[in-house]
Structures are given as structure tokens and as C-alpha cells.
């Protein structure tokens, strides 16, 4: 077994470190970083542009390049989120929550540095799990039936209902609003259009990137009108020394990074979830574990590094369901499956055995790629941070232009630009009303999955709710939920009666 793993690693390295392997990996991660930083242009646009080139490449080289773009955008996406509040990719929207406040306090350099480290550690842990546990991960997917998915997602939503810290009622309102936005489009089971108002463009739902960019970035631009105070940018701040976190922060980040990596590794391996959900769950978990949950949303380091580590770990393990079961977790993964398809390689559990050079070469190239990203990104931090010193009258119009181009490029759709504008206005409204955005995003991402699995479970059980408690995984989740809810209620009653007594 150990010999086998060593042999696989060596085989993988020989492919990944070969001149052509390195070359395509470098192209991938550089392009990925760039497209990730430009708001709205995600991995999908870059990958589909390069897709025709892959006809002329060997499948391993093609996949190494496209994979580099895929996880490279996750790195780059955080940069735009932290510095400009513009999530370049769906999973990096979480980085806006605490990364942007840090940048506003002049600590953008530290935020970027820690993000890069967290991403690297998360990615590396994901890869280690891939190497040692790949066969186990494959079988995990079969253990989860629709009822289990439903209960776990519901558990996630309930556990994070208090994610915003402030008013629970406001948080619940925003979760439900998020779920409502998430169900816009054609119903999976009957195909009936819901909340589409007869607009064909809404048949496939609201794009997460358009929603996030509107809520965060555009709302920010609107809010800044009239109070243009650029971040102070002294030469001093750009020194390497000032990009390092304090000893305390560094130590405090270790646990969140490891927890994030754990969450990401598991969620990435579950078919169809991927990095986006992993980063939201990690954010919620960090808030739960934090001794100072009030700091979240105001520049808490844990709220930044946990999710960043998580989505990078998930990006790696997400290749397991994609390559072995043919499930594209994301649109980008769908293109990578397409690359396999045109080279006559069918996804399946046997791919690992039949194409060892491809599989292990790809995995080892992930690690090389992550290393390259680390090397590329650390020296670039100083340059990126300088963006903040650009006067707003130049910076904001160019951001708006980039957003328009980027959003248009995803689906070649002008309608998506209008979606961004609409959510910019909504985002500004929530700012004025003090409504929290994390529950909305979580509801938007998880709501449709919750519904899909619930209805699938009910169809299969022919309307019996029993499945939710008789299946072990689902049953355990339901039990935890019941205990958590009961605990919350008891605490509420007790604290109220205490209050009454003191009056």
C-alpha cells in the first residue's frame, strides 16, 4: 500500500515536473490569477476561451492547464474581494465579509498575505487527502441519499442562523430572502418557471456572481458617493514587514486554517457542492468557535483565513467526484469533463487505475501549481495593495467598466449586467437598514439544494417523512438539530425568566 502510494507520487511528479507539465501549469495559474482578480471574469470565461487550444494538446497537459486556471482564480478572486469588495468568483464572496474591512483599516497587505498562506495550506491539505484517501472519498459519495443531504443542509442553515451576530430576526429574514432568490428559475421537478415574470433570462436562475458583485461591490460604490476618503497609503505600509501578521494573529489563525481545510476537504468531495458552500460553512463555523463573534464582519482574521483555506481544500477534493463519477460540481468542471470527453477518456472509478499518469500527474501538478501561486502572489501583494491608492474618481469608474465586461462575458448576456445593477441597489438598501448579508448568501446557495434533495427524498419515499429519521446519517443530523433547537429554547426561556426576576 505504502509502496503503491510512493510509486504513484513519483509517477505524478515525473509528469508534473516535466518541462511541458510545468509550462502548462504556469500558464494556467498565471491566467487564473489574472482572471480571478478582474471582477466578474471567473474561471469559466478563461477556461472556455482556452478550450479550443486543448484539442491540440495531450489530455494531461490540457487538464493541468485548465486546472491551474480553476484554482488560480480562487487565489486571484480573494484579492479583488479583499481590496475592492468585488468578489471575482462565487467562493471568494466570503472574503469580502472580513477581508474588505481589514483593507479599509489599512491592513490590506496583511489580509492578502494571510489569505495566500491560508489558501496554500488548505490546498496542500486537500491534496494530501486526495493522495492517501482517494479511494475512500469515492465511496463516501454513495453513502449519502437525498434524505441525508437534506438533513445536513438544514443542519447547516440552522447552525448558521445566528451567523450575523446582531438581530436573529433580521438574520432569518435575510436567509429566507436568500432562499427565495435562490429558487428563481425553472423548478427542477415540474419545470415550472418561478418568479421569472415571463423573462426567459431568469429561467436558469440568478447568477451567483452577478448577485454577489451587486450586493457587495456595486453597493460599496454607491455608498461611497459623497464620502471619498481614500485609504492612506504611505510608503511605509508597503514594506514586507508591514504585511506580516502580528505573532498573536498568526497563532490565532492556525486552528481556523486547519478547521477550514477539514471542512473544505469533506464538502469538496461530496458531489455537486464544491468550494462555494465550503467557504460559507467554514465562515459560520469560525463564528461559532470564536470568543469574539462581534468582531466578525469588522475585519476578523479567523473569518478570512478559515473560509479561504476551506475553498482551496474543496477545490482539490472536488476533482474526485468529477473524475470518478462524472459529476461536474461547477461549470468550470463541466469543461474539464469535456476535455476528457474529446480525448475519449470517460470519467469513472477506473480512471485512476487506467490513466495513472493522468490522474497522479494532475494531482501532483495541483501541488506544484499551489507552490507557483505562492511564489507569484507574495511579491505581488505590494503591487495589488497600491490599487487602493488610486484616486476613487479613476478607480470606481474603471471598476464599473470591468464589472460590466466581466459579467457580460460569463453568459454573453446584457441581462446579467442589469441583475448586477439591481442587486447593487438592494445591497445599498441592506447597508442602510443594517441587514446582514451572510445569511442571504447562504440561503441563496443552500436553499435550492435543500429543496431539490427534500423533494427527491419525498418522491422516493412516496410521501413518507420516516426516511429523515430512519437513515443513520440523516437521523443523526436531525437529532443534533433537535438538541440544538431545544438548547436554544431552554436558554431563551431561562434568560427571560431571569430578566423578569430582576425586574
Partner 1 sequence: MSKKLLGGIAIAAVTLMGTMAVARDYPSQTIRLIVPYAPGGQGDITARLLADRLTPRLGQTVIVENRPGANGVLGTDVVVKSDPDGHTLGLVVASHVLQRGLMANLPYDPIEDVAPVTLTTRTEMVLTATTTLPVNTLPEFIEYAQERPGQLAYKSAGQGSNTHLFGAWFADAAGLDMIHIPYSGSGASHPDIIAGVVHLGFDTVPSAGGLIDDEQLSLLAAAGTERMNRWPDAPTIAEAGAEYGLAEFSAGSWAAVIAPAGTPEDILNMLYEEIADILEDPEVIERFASMGAVIAANTPKETAAIFREEEALYTDLIQRLDINLE
Residues found near partner 1 in the complex (CB under 8 A): 44, 47-48, 51-52, 55, 141-146, 186-193, 198, 200-201, 203-204, 271-272, 321, 325-328, 331, 334-338, 341-344, 346-351, 411-413, 452, 456, 459-460, 462
Dihedral, CA of residue 321, residue 325, residue 326 and residue 327, to nearest 10:
-50
CA–CA separation, 389 and 257 (whole Å): 30
**Which residues make beta-bridge pairs with 186?**
193
For the bound state, the minimum distance from the C-beta of residue 314 to partner 1, rounded and expressed in Å, comes to: 17
Do residues 297 and 249 touch, judged by C-beta distance below 8 A?
no
Of 1, 3, 18, the C-alpha closest to 357 is 18
For the bound state, the minimum distance from the C-beta of residue 459 to partner 1, rounded and expressed in Å, comes to: 6
Considering the complex, state which of residue 234 and residue 346 has its C-beta at the smaller distance from partner 1.
346
H helical segments located in 85-218: 93-104, 108-143, 146-159, 168-182, 208-212
Secondary structure of residue 281 in the 3-state scheme? helix
Considering the complex, state which of residue 110 and residue 352 has its C-beta at the smaller distance from partner 1.
352
Considering the complex, state which of residue 202 and residue 219 has its C-beta at the smaller distance from partner 1.
202
Of 284, 276, 271, 155, the C-alpha closest to 207 is 276
CA–CA separation, 182 and 484 (whole Å): 26
- How many residues does the structure list for the chain? 503
The cell for 301 is 482574521
Considering the complex, state which of residue 143 and residue 482 has its C-beta at the smaller distance from partner 1.
143
For the bound state, the minimum distance from the C-beta of residue 452 to partner 1, rounded and expressed in Å, comes to: 7
For the bound state, the minimum distance from the C-beta of residue 55 to partner 1, rounded and expressed in Å, comes to: 6
For the bound state, the minimum distance from the C-beta of residue 141 to partner 1, rounded and expressed in Å, comes to: 5
Considering the complex, state which of residue 88 and residue 347 has its C-beta at the smaller distance from partner 1.
347
For the bound state, the minimum distance from the C-beta of residue 381 to partner 1, rounded and expressed in Å, comes to: 32
Considering the complex, state which of residue 6 and residue 460 has its C-beta at the smaller distance from partner 1.
460
Considering the complex, state which of residue 221 and residue 320 has its C-beta at the smaller distance from partner 1.
320
**Which residues make beta-bridge pairs with 185?**
194
CA–CA separation, 65 and 370 (whole Å): 13
Considering the complex, state which of residue 62 and residue 84 has its C-beta at the smaller distance from partner 1.
62
Element (H, E) at 186: strand 185-186
Dihedral, CA of residue 181, residue 185, residue 191 and residue 193, to nearest 10:
100
The cell for 259 is 478547521
For the bound state, the minimum distance from the C-beta of residue 179 to partner 1, rounded and expressed in Å, comes to: 17
For the bound state, the minimum distance from the C-beta of residue 44 to partner 1, rounded and expressed in Å, comes to: 7
CA–CA separation, 233 and 387 (whole Å): 10
For the bound state, the minimum distance from the C-beta of residue 355 to partner 1, rounded and expressed in Å, comes to: 10
Query: Residue 461 contacts by C-beta under 8 Å, 6 or more apart in sequence?
Result: 147, 467
Considering the complex, state which of residue 36 and residue 146 has its C-beta at the smaller distance from partner 1.
146
Amino acid at each position: 500500500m505504502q509502496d503503491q502510494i510512493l510509486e504513484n507520487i513519483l509517477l505524478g511528479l515525473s509528469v508534473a515536473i516535466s518541462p511541458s507539465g510545468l509550462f502548462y501549469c504556469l500558464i494556467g495559474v498565471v491566467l487564473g490569477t489574472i482572471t480571478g482578480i478582474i471582477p466578474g471574469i471567473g474561471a469559466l470565461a478563461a477556461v472556455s476561451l482556452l478550450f479550443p487550444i486543448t484539442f491540440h494538446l495531450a489530455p494531461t497537459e490540457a487538464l493541468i492547464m485548465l486546472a491551474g486556471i480553476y484554482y488560480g482564480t480562487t487565489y486571484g478572486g480573494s484579492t479583488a474581494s479583499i481590496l475592492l469588495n468585488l468578489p471575482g468568483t462565487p467562493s471568494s464572496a466570503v472574503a469580502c465579509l472580513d477581508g474588505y474591512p481589514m483593507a479599509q483599516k489599512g491592513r490590506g497587505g496583511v489580509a492578502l498575505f494571510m489569505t495566500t498562506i491560508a489558501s496554500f495550506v488548505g490546498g496542500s491539505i486537500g491534496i494530501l487527502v486526495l493522495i492517501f484517501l482517494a479511494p475512500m472519498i469515492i465511496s463516501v459519495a454513495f453513502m449519502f441519499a437525498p434524505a441525508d443531504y437534506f438533513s445536513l443542509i438544514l443542519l447547516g442553515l440552522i447552525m448558521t442562523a445566528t451567523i450575523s451576530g446582531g438581530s436573529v430576526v433580521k438574520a432569518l429574514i435575510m436567509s429566507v430572502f436568500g432562499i427565495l432568490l435562490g429558487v428563481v428559475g425553472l423548478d427542477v421537478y415540474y419545470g415550472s418557471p418561478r418568479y421569472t415574470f415571463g423573462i426567459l433570462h431568469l429561467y436558469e436562475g440568478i447568477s451567483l456572481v452577478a448577485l454577489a458583485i451587486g450586493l457587495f461591490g456595486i453597493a460599496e460604490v454607491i455608498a461611497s458617493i459623497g464620502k471619498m476618503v481614500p485609504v492612506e497609503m504611505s510608503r511605509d505600509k508597503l514594506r514586507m514587514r508591514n504585511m506580516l501578521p502580528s505573532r498573536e494573529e498568526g497563532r490565532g489563525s492556525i486552528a481556523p486554517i486547519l478547521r477550514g481545510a477539514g471542512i473544505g476537504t469533506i464538502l469538496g468531495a461530496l458531489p455537486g457542492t464544491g468550494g462555494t458552500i465550503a467557504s460559507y460553512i467554514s465562515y459560520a463555523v469560525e463564528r461559532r468557535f470564536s470568543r469574539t463573534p462581534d468582531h466578525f464582519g469588522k475585519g476578523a482574521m479567523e473569518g478570512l483565513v478559515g473560509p479561504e483555506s476551506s475553498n482551496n481544500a474543496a477545490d482539490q477534493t472536488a476533482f474526485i467526484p468529477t473524475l470518478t463519477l462524472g459529476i461536474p460540481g461547477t461549470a468550470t468542471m463541466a469543461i474539464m469533463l469535456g476535455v476528457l470527453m474529446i480525448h475519449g477518456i470517460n470519467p469513472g472509478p477506473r480512471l485512476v487505475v487506467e490513466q495513472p499518469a493522468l490522474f497522479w500527474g494532475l494531482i501532483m501538478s495541483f501541488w506544484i501549481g499551489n507552490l507557483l501561486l505562492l511564489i507569484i502572489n507574495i511579491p505581488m501583494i505590494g503591487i495589488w495593495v497600491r490599487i487602493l491608492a488610486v484616486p476613487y474618481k479613476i478607480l470606481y469608474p474603471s471598476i464599473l467598466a470591468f464589472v460590466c465586461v466581466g459579467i457580460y462575458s460569463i453568459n454573453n448576456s446584457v441581462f446579467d449586467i442589469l441583475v448586477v445593477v439591481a442587486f447593487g441597489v438592494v445591497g445599498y438598501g441592506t447597508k442602510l437598514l443594517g441587514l446582514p448579508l451572510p445569511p442571504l448568501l447562504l440561503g441563496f446557495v443552500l436553499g435550492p439544494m435543500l429543496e431539490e434533495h427534500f423533494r427527491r427524498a419525498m418522491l422516493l419515499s412516496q410521501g413518507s417523512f420516516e426516511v429523515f429519521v430512519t437513515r443513520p446519517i440523516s437521523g443523526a443530523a436531525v437529532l443534533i438539530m433537535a438538541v440544538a433547537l431545544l438548547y436554544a429554547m431552554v436558554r431563551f426561556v431561562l434568560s427571560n425568566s431571569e430578566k423578569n426576576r430582576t425586574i
